[in-house]
Amino acid sequence: MNFTSTLPCSSSTSRTLYSHIGLRAFILLQLLLVQPCLHHPQPCHVLAQIGHTVRVGALLPAQRAARVQVQAALNRAAAGMTRDEDNFLPYNLSLELVTRQPAAADPESLFRCVCQGVVVQGVSAVLAFPQSREELLQVEFMASFLEIPFIKVLLFNLCPVCCPQNRFHLQMVKGVPESGLSNLLLTVLKRSGWREGTVVLCRGWEEARGLLELLNDQTDVSWGGSNSWHLRALLNLTQSAHDDTQIHDFLSRHFKHNTPAPASVLLFGADPQCAAAVLHSAQDLGLTLPMVHWVLGQPLSPDALHAIGLPLGLLAYGEVEQKPLDFYIRDALQLVSRAITKATMIRPDLALIQTMVNCDDKPSKQEEMSSGQYLSSFLPNTSFMGLTGPVEVDQNRSVVLTSQRFHIWSLRRDALGQPTWVTVGSWEGGICRWRTKGGRWRPGMPVVGSRVRVVTLVEHPFVFTRDVDEDSSCPAGQFCLDAGTNNTETLERYFREVGRGNASVLPKDAAKCCYGYCVDLLEKLSEDLGFEFDLYIVGDGKYGAWKGGRWTGLVGDLLNGLADMAVTSFSINSARSQVIDFTSPFFSTSLGILVRSKDTAAPIGAFMWPLHWSMWVGIFVALHITALFLTLYEWKSPFGMTPHGRNRMRVFSYSSALNLCYAILFGRTVSSKTPKCWTGRFLMNLWAIFCLLVLSSYTANLAAVMVGEKTFEEVTGIHDAKLHHPSRGFRFGTVRESSAEDYMKKSFPEMHEYMRRFNEPTTPDGVATLKTDPPHLDAFIMDKALLDYEVSIDADCKLATVGKPFAIEGYGVGLPQNSPLTSNMSEFISRYKSDGYMDLLHDKWYKMVPCGNRGFAVTETLQMGISHFSGLFVLLCVGVAGALLTLAGEHGFFRLVLPHIRRRQNFKYWLHTSQKIHRALNMTYEDVKKQRADREKRCVLFCEDLRAMVRVYWSLSNIIKAKEHTREVRDKVVEKFKSALSYTKISQDLNISRSTVQSIIWKWKEYSTTANLPRHGRALVRNVTKCPKITLEELRRTAAELGESVHGTTISRTLHKSGLHGRVARRKPLLKGGHKKSRLKFSISHMEDTATMWKRVLWSDETKIELFGPNAKRYVWHTPNTAHRPECTIPSVKYGGGASCYGAAFPQRGLGRL
């Protein structure tokens, strides 16, 4: 690596410029004269022989102190790259670093330095070291203007929000940005489970102002659910930083009036005296663990930790293994070198020969890509493992991402009881990793950092289980063992294998993931008390009872020392409290009774129940009266549909009115006559409003009345006679060895003796016996918290809890007697209840579904089935029978009554009642026959018109038919059909219509080929008809695209057979809409002119002669007598283009002597 000396930008650079131009000319000459290499588009061997140098600029800071620091780092970087032979450039290319320093820190000096000292050297990229936000923005502007990649190495983040997406402007920050520190702090707060806190400010906190603002802005972001860190108060001690008494009094007053104390306190400040006074005051005031957790907000060095010795539990963090500045410079140079290497493999001319060598000659618009643009396209796609860790470019923010490592320390006591700093976690690349704590906790040892063994029992929603993932991990929930045994040695062996990461050696069903209400509570306790835990499911699946001279289930594991804690729906009762300890209850419940519903059928006439019988009578009476008045209004109106009104063939009679009223009432969409007079229409609309309101009321009450009822077993409570007199056949039970069975045994021994035969091992088993058909149990007694959850998840809505609750009890965490964890855990559980955390857990795991929102009433509606509509089917059958009787009545009326009325002179006018009866009485057979003939004639004419329309439609559809698909596409359709794909799938894959796919497959099945069969030219004629100006060559190419080789003579002969001949197209003046309107207007205005006037008109015409092109004849295909059609003519204009226009004028009498 070559390293040029640092020169001020005011020195002469003409020699360098001329030498670079000469080198550039020499390279271009070699590129033109030497034959290029094989397998590469550019002469790469020539570049290897001449040893071209890649230059990278380095812009030093204007400030002396920063310039000395950066210059020293550049020297170390150059020496390190030379020593390690880190040359990532191909073809013997060498890297030369050109350093320049501006004369001053103003923008003019900086721009002059870049243009006159760096750009003229033909640099591929530039390293910059801005020291302020203004310099940062200036460098960004220069990068965008010059279109040269600038990599800015920042000692600290000057502007957290100044990271625009600019491909020429990349930032490499040596330190961690304040956004990263805020993420680290929030991660620590989240890991510790602290949801709120107070910030204390000492002198020097201004250095962390940006960090504090980011921390305050990000506290609104939740960590899943509704939990987030909230800034409770901000205490500023900068005015009393040197007075320990004032600090003590201030903290005492604040925390005394603000209760409860915050879960966490963040201390910011660079003054060690103030920080020590605050921590000493917190120790004296008792603001320490487990009530308050102190965190140092600003990062510290490992050496600074030894000066802090209290309080215990204090958390601090700081960067370790800090990389020097020259490491970042070497990684930046390596990033540029790797990008140039990739670019050289494709376009060496753009990668090595720089287009920007003079700021004054920058083109305003480049027709092709510049070298800077070309190189900047490779930088975002370059990543490698550098001296600072993984190096890559964040394309969204134009930032070169590097890696910094932070350690998180906690102040604890060592084995001798002395405070010492212990590394509890590390943070790198935005990921926080916590150190594995110690071994299993034993009584007498501090629980912080130890592993507690916890036993649980699956009981929804408190504990759920599922299988682990393929890699034996649990992304959601906690890993737990379901060994099915309570053998100590077996469990110890399993836990050892899990601790070693060998969970795959466990039995097939032993590894589970546990989650639920109690698992969330356990995670919260472990975070607050600082312990980790191993979770397993009790081997016998029992809560615990005294049986066979020993305790079983959860109680037995606690007494045997197999577990240190039991967390599940563990009821607190007197028998268990005598042998183990319980924390304060975290969930209050009672015993309840679960029953199943019984369905009842609805009666046949249930569909009539929404309305009273008097309402039904009133509706039909009002219907007939309304029809009567409609008929009267229509016949009395001069505009009605009557013979003396509109005088039409159709007449509005009483039967028409009845048909109309019934159609409106029941919402039928049948054809009916409507009144024509205004009075009748008004009455018809009133009747429609009446029917709308009646039907709305009927529909609203129909579902509630018609579906019948669903009844539950009416059990008033534990003292109900059905439970105390089981001889009636009422079966009920509970869970074996549970608190419910213990309560029944002590309070109701006779009832317990009867129900023992019906008890089930678990709650889900008991609920399943209720839901069988027929049910094996009539009622199930268990904790109401568990029964309410079963009701809420019942998809069929057949379960409900009935009766009054009894035997109030609570769930607590079980521990061995005299456990030191009992008091601490009880205190935290009480705090969770007062803070609302337990309510959040309840809302999370008791999500009520529609059945859960039910009020647990004794009766409830059911879904309607066919039995509920049986009355409607009966009504339909009655209607069919009534129609048959009506048909018989019509025949009797026609054969018996009509002849009798015809013989009489009166009672022959029936138009107001029925038009059909009137015609039957007053029309002869010949009149009816003539009327039928007229009707048939109209039908025949209509059919002929319809056929004509169909023929026009098919002709148009043939004209607009899509172009025929190629042979390749048809073969693909057949192949996909052979692969058992459906027509729809083939259509979607090949983007053709489904009907086309069906046609191709039918043709293949019929003729066993997809080739075009011999045809008589219909497609050819259709194409010529659509485009008469198409040539024979174009027709031949179209046929060749479809896999048919046809000679031009064959095409011509086929077209001649169809009457299509090639003729010279007639030229017709191109008249636009404006021309036609003006000519029509002229003609209309002179229609009345005399012949004498027309003789005085001088007529003119014009033509043009082509100058730059042949005025050739154009041929079209057309049949005889169609040459005048627009598609067979060529529009012509008499102006414009390369032509000469000539005009002439002549009078009406012709061309005489002019």
Contact, 201 vs 236, CB < 8 A? yes
Q: What is the pLDDT of residue 713?
A: 55
pLDDT tens sequence across 611-661: 888 888 888 899 889 888 888 888 777 766 666 655 556 677 778 888 888
- Cα distance between residue 597 and residue 865, in whole Å: 17
Same domain, 218 and 236: yes
Q: What is the pLDDT of residue 813?
A: 92
Residue 393 has pLDDT above 60, yes or no: yes
Q: How far is CA 291 from CA 194, 254, 255, 345, in A?
A: 11, 15, 12, 64
Residue 216 has pLDDT above 80, yes or no: no
Cis peptide before 475 (omega within 30 of 0): no
* CATH code assigned at 369: 3.40.50.2300
Tell me the pLDDT band of 42, cut-offs 50, 70 and 90: very low
Of the chain, the percentage scoring pLDDT greater than 70 comes to 73
Residue 571 labelled as part of a binding site: yes
Domain holding 665, by residue range, is 613-706
As a whole number, mean pLDDT of residues 652-680 equals: 79
Contact, 1065 vs 1108, CB < 8 A? no
Phi, psi of 554 (to 5 degrees): -60, -40
Q: Across all residues in the chain, what is the average pLDDT?
A: 75
Same domain, 13 and 146: yes
Strands 478-481 and 532-537: parallel
Q: What is the pLDDT of residue 46?
A: 39
Residue 576 labelled as part of a binding site: yes
Most confident of 275-289, 361-375, 844-858, 938-952: 275-289
Q: What is the pLDDT of residue 977?
A: 86
Of the chain, the percentage scoring pLDDT greater than 90 comes to 2
> Is residue 504 domain-resident?
yes
Nearest to 515 by CA among 484, 568, 565, 476: 476
Kind and range of the H or E run holding 927: helix 925-959
Contact, 832 vs 586, CB < 8 A? yes
Same domain, 29 and 156: yes
Most confident of 3-17, 197-211, 537-551, 594-608: 537-551
Tell me the pLDDT band of 1137, cut-offs 50, 70 and 90: low
- HSE, side-chain direction, 13 A CA sphere, residue 935: 6
Q: How far is CA 764 from CA 460, 478, 782, in A?
A: 9, 22, 11
Residue 739 labelled as part of a binding site: yes
As a whole number, mean pLDDT of residues 952-979 equals: 71
Q: What is the pLDDT of residue 251?
A: 79
As a whole number, mean pLDDT of residues 533-555 equals: 86
Tell me the pLDDT band of 566, cut-offs 50, 70 and 90: very high
Nearest to 1009 by CA among 971, 968, 1051: 971
- Cα distance between residue 635 and residue 911, in whole Å: 10
Which one has a higher pLDDT value, 1097 or 694?
A: 694
* Weakest-pLDDT range from 438-447, 672-681, 804-813: 438-447
Same domain, 806 and 818: no
Contact, 88 vs 318, CB < 8 A? no
3-state secondary structure 307-350: HCCCCCCCEEEEEECCCCHHHHHHHHHHHHHHHHHHHHCCCHHH
Tell me the pLDDT band of 567, cut-offs 50, 70 and 90: very high
Cα distance from N-terminal residue to C-terminal residue, the chain: 96
As a whole number, mean pLDDT of residues 25-45 equals: 41
Which one has a higher pLDDT value, 98 or 1071?
A: 98
* Weakest-pLDDT range from 221-225, 745-749, 990-994: 221-225
> Is residue 353 domain-resident?
yes
Same domain, 377 and 500: no
Same domain, 519 and 655: no
* CATH code assigned at 983: 1.10.10
Residue that is written with structure tokens 């009748």 in the block: 680
Q: What is the pLDDT of residue 218?
A: 60
Q: What is the pLDDT of residue 7?
A: 62
Residue 2 has pLDDT above 70, yes or no: no
User: What number of residues does the chain have?
Assistant: 1154
Residue 783 labelled as part of a binding site: yes
Tell me the pLDDT band of 31, cut-offs 50, 70 and 90: very low
Q: What is the pLDDT of residue 364?
A: 60
Tell me the pLDDT band of 20, cut-offs 50, 70 and 90: very low
- Cα distance between residue 439 and residue 449, in whole Å: 8
Residue 946 has pLDDT above 80, yes or no: no
Tell me the pLDDT band of 912, cut-offs 50, 70 and 90: low
Same domain, 503 and 444: yes
> Is residue 570 domain-resident?
yes
Residue 167: strand, helix, or coil: coil
From the CB of residue 332, how many other CB atoms can be counted at a distance below 10 Å? Answer: 25
Residue ending a domain, among 401, 416, 451, is 401
As a whole number, mean pLDDT of residues 494-498 equals: 80
Cis peptide before 461 (omega within 30 of 0): yes
* Weakest-pLDDT range from 388-397, 427-436, 748-757: 427-436
As a whole number, mean pLDDT of residues 329-345 equals: 85
- Cα distance between residue 663 and residue 149, in whole Å: 81
Which one has a higher pLDDT value, 166 or 859?
A: 166
Q: What is the pLDDT of residue 45?
A: 47
Same domain, 560 and 449: yes
pLDDT tens sequence across 755-780: 888 888 888 888 888 888 777 888 88
Q: What is the pLDDT of residue 11?
A: 44
Residue 783 has pLDDT above 70, yes or no: yes
> Is residue 823 domain-resident?
yes
* Weakest-pLDDT range from 73-82, 304-313, 471-480, 921-930: 921-930
* CATH code assigned at 503: 3.40.190.10
> Is residue 150 domain-resident?
yes
pLDDT tens sequence across 66-91: 888 888 888 888 887 777 666 777 77
Rg, Å, the chain Cα set: 49
Tokens of 611: 């309305």
Tell me the pLDDT band of 455, cut-offs 50, 70 and 90: very high
Residue 226 has pLDDT above 50, yes or no: no
Residue ending a domain, among 844, 862, 892, is 844
Tell me the pLDDT band of 225, cut-offs 50, 70 and 90: very low
Same domain, 564 and 473: yes
DSSP string, 556-595: HHHHTTS-SEE-SS-B--HHHHTTEEE-S-SEEEEEEEEE
pLDDT tens sequence across 515-541: 989 999 998 888 888 888 889 999 888
Phi-psi region of 438 (alpha: psi -120 to 50; beta: other; left: phi over 0): beta
> Is residue 515 domain-resident?
yes
> Is residue 782 domain-resident?
yes
Which one has a higher pLDDT value, 921 or 759?
A: 759
Which one has a higher pLDDT value, 713 or 493?
A: 493
Same domain, 155 and 223: no
Q: What is the pLDDT of residue 158?
A: 58
Tell me the pLDDT band of 706, cut-offs 50, 70 and 90: low
- Residues 4, 9, 14, 18, CA torsion sign: positive
Strands 405-413 and 315-320: antiparallel
Most confident of 136-145, 565-574, 906-915: 565-574
- Cα distance between residue 56 and residue 149, in whole Å: 10
* CATH code assigned at 621: 1.10.287
Same domain, 581 and 625: no
Residue ending a domain, among 922, 955, 990, is 922
Total domains in the fold of the chain: 8
Q: What is the pLDDT of residue 312?
A: 79
Residues in contact with 34: Cβ distance below 8 Å, sequence separation at least 6, in sequence order = 43, 45, 46
As a whole number, mean pLDDT of residues 210-231 equals: 59
DSSP code of 1123? T
> Is residue 954 domain-resident?
no
Nearest to 672 by CA among 655, 686, 689, 688: 655
Same domain, 69 and 145: yes
- Cα distance between residue 595 and residue 767, in whole Å: 9
